Structure 1
């Protein structure tokens, strides 16, 4: 075939070719190169990669934004935009915009965040199922979703259907969570935020829902706390919960002691880092879009990380400004911040964000066309089509943007300011005040050229505290806004910037540096004369230890004449850190109270919200967590999350900390009673291997597996129990030596108990014998991941391999998130840096995940 236009031929690359070229681009940074290739390089559904380095991606993005900007006066050129975004130096489109702009191979949204809902009114099954479908439809287009459950009537409320009474909020939490986990997003799981008002009578059940192992694992959860509740806790007086939560026409009321519920929130957050807290009255009071609440802009929930409170069917796109890049002569005594360039770039960033809204509207048109062209009946497609029409209306009408930042920690260090110090906080607040003023000024100037957002009304906004703050700081800006309007209903946020900071090689978002330097291990061949063996593990594998420097810490070392090629010992590394501006300024060093105050001060200049975590050591008390929550409310924070070290696994820790944790784990593993209790709480896990359906009965002590028995499910030789059985389960044993009969008991929907007698008689004898051996290892405290390794290593006949795989799969659910997987390799990139996450093996290097 004769090719008419050679310019239409696109070069493609293999994953390895793109990785090697990107490795050069990132100057040898393996993790940054793998993250970019796996998550952001332009690729089609067959795996062909069309971009070799981020330069190609940035040129694609610049071309598309310039195409839109040409529609308006004073347009930016493609080259000007490219210089702003190249090398992740100044302006960084985040996540969905980076992936989706100019991408012809995906019909996906450019929005990072969505909130959906029924305007807080419909709690019918039809309304709930509509939300469930909308959630799934958004996630398949790459968006993170939030919605509030306060509209669902509390447990036990009368309903006019066969159930007679409502099941309440908690079962629907599990439904929405499961839906999230079912949606594949090119290797990334869906992201969901579920929230509920503290005023709702089921809020206690909501707060406890995730404390049960394996429950609601597909969602973040946050409680919307009002000022009245906080005052009631502080003053030790009663508080009234009601349904509906708004108004005086209530169907149900109850008076509670708020301190008991407060202590539960604090305890659960101390134990598991959830629920998060949303100070709802502060959010609503400060929200500029809520000036238009009667026009459909009443805020009802937030996106999954909490930084964008939204009304139903609104969405937002995110962009980060790299603060470190505006520090001239960084890490020297002559370092200074380039305010002039910074302000100029804020204006360009806000203009580009408005262009990205136009690009998003084009994407929505393509999504709607795809829906219309699909062969399903119109009735099947109706919910999805109406969803995107609603989102289109909000995006076009309000034109919401999400300008944020990254590298706050590195910026302060480069200027010689310690994160968390009074001086450092004062400078950080000045940064965000200037972002607010200049972004709003840019939106006013853009409105002058392009027109204001459709429903702009200065009279509605005149008493809003955020607008009043802007007026006081810059009266001229305010009067320009009165004259020309504003292009965007709300503009600012501070989001987490995980992969963004990896690729910009800076600290993440508003957070301090996690660790300026740490050690990692690389497996080596001990016979290779070119390698150094620093460590031999328990199975005889040899490892070389090497030091990993945070990129900007390495830059500080270079500027200050420290040798980067030297093999430093731990004491030398500690001494280096002490000399640096990162000393006493890492996540675990920063004073908690100072960080809360810093967040509150910065929040005054962010019209949406801030994603930030208060890191605390493992031995911190629950009382201190509660104290910090109270301080955060008084400081004007819109939300707060506390992470106590060890409350969730998976955080990078030092070698000495790992050893101490291992010793503590050994103590914990040996804490089971010597004699088996007569009755154990139980869990049921159903799964399928090949065509066989299986069920596992797992006896638990303190939520940890103590024994496991498995067999066929729902066939003539197997066990038949209802699908809904997963609560109130126990396993009874009549004698303590484990040789007697085991009975399984559950409650039916009317509260009556049903017993399946003699589990041992229901199984193939060979399965039962192996189950007793495996249960013995569990009872003697062997770590779950090691039990799984043991099961996988069993050499069994082919006829019993399905059983073996099923037992391993069932137990993997109980491996704590963040546990390292030994002696296994990533099938995608061959890395040995694997962690268990929710029972799945996840590669920390390339992000791929494998379950089962």
Structure 2
């Protein structure tokens, strides 16, 4: 059902009205207010805002869920549902459900994540392109996507087309990655997970693909690792890779040293936080849906954050239960966890999730109606239409849900229990076991009222380890399930809760607090009264530093009579943290092996998977990363990701000294004399109505010089469009004067030389390119060069267009996480912008802009 807004236009609010109301709602939490307003407040495509505070949103969601409830016996009322979800206190629909339920202005899915893929082992080019189109169609409807590449034949395999041999997995990684970067989702990029089996002969190429700068920047990558490989690593023996993977009669077979490949995985993860690892045999053996694999529920990959393993065309919707809200008298000696209320709410959360599936099926009907009404020819629309028909079938038949949690770290602190301690792990395990039992009980009761999911078969599931644990923990529940079935094929997950935790004002997901106290800066006018200037940046802007307390840390202070408005010294802050229940319980404090053990224990009670990161200091060894991965496999984790501090740019850092070190690291030292030949990247752009090409000469992957020229006329630089990297720029003159030749590899692998190209560079642009090249060669940071080029006041329209093209080319090389000075966010007007994969990304509201 949708609202006819044309007959009764609802009230609208200005950006300022809504922001001020949201700011009051969140008790002056600027970031939470902006996130809600920009991502979840109801608005149309023209930017009209229809909700003043989050409780307007909660009422919208409650109204729609209550409408679904009326289809069934013993319906919950709108007020019942509203009381459960209001103020983000107990139950929080995450992401797509929050934005999309009851939204008449957007034809989008309510699912957070999908997995797609071809049936069987097909790796035809048509199949590859079909997946590419399906991925894009899903991302435009707001979903994150995962797919596995293990079906693609390895590099060098024979194919029956003009290429004669296969290019292997990596080019298709780039294709899918680039498609992701092209799709905008309400100010954010699409999310993609690419996986491959370690048994695939190209798995090492897959593992290395992201190490090359600019490669596969639009995807997360994870390796599916089987028990046989892990045993080979542990026993230091060989391992046989095959294509098709695990085939009894492989077309390709390759014996490798398991430890050599393992060390490569560990090294790359230590260096760049990827690839992630999926322990595939554990996933499959524990998976309840895989009891129905012959009916289309064979798990093939995961969603982008790895917490939902899925079969092709299945999807999942996410919901988080705020664990902190069940702690009574938090941060006192009388603190306790209300398990009685918690159990009731877990059952309610499962019921609401099942209602959301019905709402999703309605959304898919609207998507299909829109596709049918679109003017394109039927054969053009066929892939998109079939995609949604397949998704609708899986969602209606399996009715998969994703009930999870947030605020684990705050829950433990509020109870006075140290995160990562033996008692902390034991209490967390008790909470998650309770969730599993009560969610499954809720699903059985729903089956009694509404019917079981379409293919439920107790006989198929009877030997599943997860079902066996439920039977042992609660035999009454198990035998009720035999009698009535279960409403949902799988129920539970622990997802990252980024923006959700900002609005619940708690720690994120299962993670500990990142920092209980940290500093922020705001730009100030030094001439204003009562302004403290704590920092002046390199362009002369003045900044005031202020202390920010984690919300629940601030509550601890208030409970203990500590005035949080006081201006604390760093020493006083350190003393406060030491006295608090967050002491030795931050993401950098928690014992790593303890966290892995905790994840493995909790995983036994989560039928999908867990998104969790092991945070490590910068100076840890690669061997430690390997030991943690091995431990994760041994204790039963389904997946694991490590992040070593500083191994990936663009991540929060804990103090200003590190920021200064990073800025120094951006300075690049080049040889005094230009080498005779340089490898270059190729970037194409539009200069007015003309097609242009830029060559970015590189030394140690850092830009050293720029050449630009026409790419589309008789006098242009004719290099095929498939040439993007590896061009060689040679200076033919030993005396250093300019006489450049360009070489590139043709389709047969030979070098093709285009001689004496210097005359083809327009003199009007040549001098500007020389100026830019000079600044590059003297080690000026790329972001500063970008700002310099942008600041040039040029009268010629063509020069300005050329300037914009060169800026776009160079921005690809700005280190992720670099602060963008002199810019503000078009969305929320914040000046807190960073470069992320060549695009300006707002750290306050998350919107991203390229160009």
TM-score, length of structure 1 as denominator length: 0.97
**Counterparts of residues 180-329 of structure 1 (less than 5 Å):** 180-329=180-329
How far apart, CA to CA, are the structure 2 residues paired with 1:737 and 1:222? 50
Do 2:361 and 2:396's aligned partners in 1 also have CA atoms closer than 8 Å?
Answer: yes
Do 1:150 and 1:200's aligned partners in 2 also have CA atoms closer than 8 Å?
Answer: yes
2:742 — aligned with what?
Answer: 744
Q: Which range is displaced more, 826-835 or 327-336? A: 826-835
Q: Cα distance, 1:7 vs. partner?
A: 9.4
1:666 — aligned with what?
Answer: 664
Q: Which range is displaced more, 805-814 or 680-689? A: 680-689
> Cα deviation per residue 1:717-740 (whole Å; 9 max; x = unaligned)?
431100011243322335688544
Q: Cα distance, 1:772 vs. partner?
A: 2.7
How far apart, CA to CA, are the structure 1 residues paired with 2:735 and 2:310? 58
Do 1:506 and 1:552's aligned partners in 2 also have CA atoms closer than 8 Å?
Answer: yes
**Counterparts of residues 166-177 of structure 1 (less than 5 Å):** 166-177=166-177
Q: Which range is displaced more, 189-198 or 571-580? A: 571-580
Q: Cα distance, 1:643 vs. partner?
A: 1.0
How far apart, CA to CA, are the structure 2 residues paired with 1:374 and 1:67? 29
> Cα deviation per residue 1:465-522 (whole Å; 9 max; x = unaligned)?
1111111111111111111111111000000000000111011101111111111111
What CA RMSD, in Å, does the superposition of the two structures yield over aligned residues?
1.7
Do 1:677 and 1:736's aligned partners in 2 also have CA atoms closer than 8 Å?
Answer: no
CA shift in 2, pair 1:334/1:739, >3 Å? farther
Secondary structure of 1:8's match? coil
Q: Cα distance, 1:759 vs. partner?
A: 4.4
1:719 — aligned with what?
Answer: 717
> Cα deviation per residue 1:185-243 (whole Å; 9 max; x = unaligned)?
22121111111111111111111111111111111111111111111111111111111
How far apart, CA to CA, are the structure 1 residues paired with 2:257 and 2:238? 5
How far apart, CA to CA, are the structure 2 residues paired with 1:808 and 1:468? 59
Q: Which range is displaced more, 770-779 or 817-826? A: 770-779
Matched, 1:140 2:140: yes
Q: Cα distance, 1:660 vs. partner?
A: 4.9
Q: Cα distance, 1:811 vs. partner?
A: 0.9
CA shift in 2, pair 1:667/1:62, >3 Å? closer
How far apart, CA to CA, are the structure 1 residues paired with 2:335 and 2:731? 71
Q: Which range is displaced more, 840-849 or 446-455? A: 840-849
How far apart, CA to CA, are the structure 1 residues paired with 2:612 and 2:732? 51
How far apart, CA to CA, are the structure 1 residues paired with 2:735 and 2:218? 39
Do 1:676 and 1:737's aligned partners in 2 also have CA atoms closer than 8 Å?
Answer: no
How far apart, CA to CA, are the structure 1 residues paired with 2:18 and 2:734? 60
How far apart, CA to CA, are the structure 2 residues paired with 1:694 and 1:275? 36
**Counterparts of residues 30-429 of structure 1 (less than 5 Å):** 30-429=30-429
Gap regions ≥5 residues in structure 1: none
Matched, 1:847 2:846: yes
Q: Cα distance, 1:831 vs. partner?
A: 1.3
1:636 — aligned with what?
Answer: 636
How far apart, CA to CA, are the structure 1 residues paired with 2:736 and 2:667? 20
Q: Cα distance, 1:806 vs. partner?
A: 2.1
How far apart, CA to CA, are the structure 2 residues paired with 1:383 and 1:5? 32
Do 2:690 and 2:712's aligned partners in 1 also have CA atoms closer than 8 Å?
Answer: no
2:543 — aligned with what?
Answer: 543
Q: Which range is displaced more, 778-787 or 214-223? A: 778-787
1:783 — aligned with what?
Answer: 781
CA shift in 2, pair 1:446/1:737, >3 Å? farther
How far apart, CA to CA, are the structure 1 residues paired with 2:511 and 2:677? 47
2:445 — aligned with what?
Answer: 445
Secondary structure of 1:466's match? helix
CA shift in 2, pair 1:549/1:270, >3 Å? same
Do 2:276 and 2:641's aligned partners in 1 also have CA atoms closer than 8 Å?
Answer: yes
Do 1:401 and 1:488's aligned partners in 2 also have CA atoms closer than 8 Å?
Answer: yes
How far apart, CA to CA, are the structure 2 residues paired with 1:227 and 1:169? 23
Q: Cα distance, 1:155 vs. partner?
A: 1.2
> Cα deviation per residue 1:375-404 (whole Å; 9 max; x = unaligned)?
222222211111111111111111100000
How far apart, CA to CA, are the structure 1 residues paired with 2:787 and 2:655? 23
Do 1:397 and 1:453's aligned partners in 2 also have CA atoms closer than 8 Å?
Answer: yes
> Cα deviation per residue 1:661-689 (whole Å; 9 max; x = unaligned)?
23xx5256244334433333321111224
2:765 — aligned with what?
Answer: 767
1:700 to 680, 698, 701: 698
Q: Cα distance, 1:702 vs. partner?
A: 2.3
1:709 to 707, 710, 718: 707
Q: Cα distance, 1:640 vs. partner?
A: 0.7
> Cα deviation per residue 1:237-273 (whole Å; 9 max; x = unaligned)?
1111111113312111111112221121111111111
How far apart, CA to CA, are the structure 2 residues paired with 1:291 and 1:556? 47
CA shift in 2, pair 1:289/1:5, >3 Å? closer
How far apart, CA to CA, are the structure 1 residues paired with 2:789 and 2:399? 55
How far apart, CA to CA, are the structure 1 residues paired with 2:735 and 2:22? 60
How far apart, CA to CA, are the structure 2 residues paired with 1:837 and 1:821? 10
Do 2:329 and 2:336's aligned partners in 1 also have CA atoms closer than 8 Å?
Answer: yes
1:802 — aligned with what?
Answer: 801
Matched, 1:835 2:834: yes
Q: Cα distance, 1:45 vs. partner?
A: 1.4
Gap regions ≥5 residues in structure 2: none
> Cα deviation per residue 1:591-630 (whole Å; 9 max; x = unaligned)?
1111111111111110000111111112222121111111
2:820 — aligned with what?
Answer: 821
Secondary structure of 2:742's match? strand
How far apart, CA to CA, are the structure 2 residues paired with 1:224 and 1:721? 38
Secondary structure of 1:606's match? coil
Secondary structure of 2:489's match? coil
Secondary structure of 2:246's match? coil
2:473 — aligned with what?
Answer: 473
How far apart, CA to CA, are the structure 1 residues paired with 2:264 and 2:771? 39
CA shift in 2, pair 1:709/1:179, >3 Å? same
How far apart, CA to CA, are the structure 2 residues paired with 1:8 and 1:774? 57
> Cα deviation per residue 1:435-465 (whole Å; 9 max; x = unaligned)?
0011011111111111111111111111111
Secondary structure of 2:166's match? coil
Q: Cα distance, 1:659 vs. partner?
A: 4.3
2:433 — aligned with what?
Answer: 433
How far apart, CA to CA, are the structure 2 residues paired with 1:614 and 1:104? 41
Do 2:189 and 2:848's aligned partners in 1 also have CA atoms closer than 8 Å?
Answer: no
Q: Size of the alignment, in residue pairs?
A: 847
2:508 — aligned with what?
Answer: 508
Q: Cα distance, 1:5 vs. partner?
A: 12
Do 1:697 and 1:710's aligned partners in 2 also have CA atoms closer than 8 Å?
Answer: yes
> Cα deviation per residue 1:269-293 (whole Å; 9 max; x = unaligned)?
1111111111101000000000010
Do 2:653 and 2:659's aligned partners in 1 also have CA atoms closer than 8 Å?
Answer: no
Do 1:66 and 1:76's aligned partners in 2 also have CA atoms closer than 8 Å?
Answer: yes
> Cα deviation per residue 1:765-787 (whole Å; 9 max; x = unaligned)?
34333323322222222211112
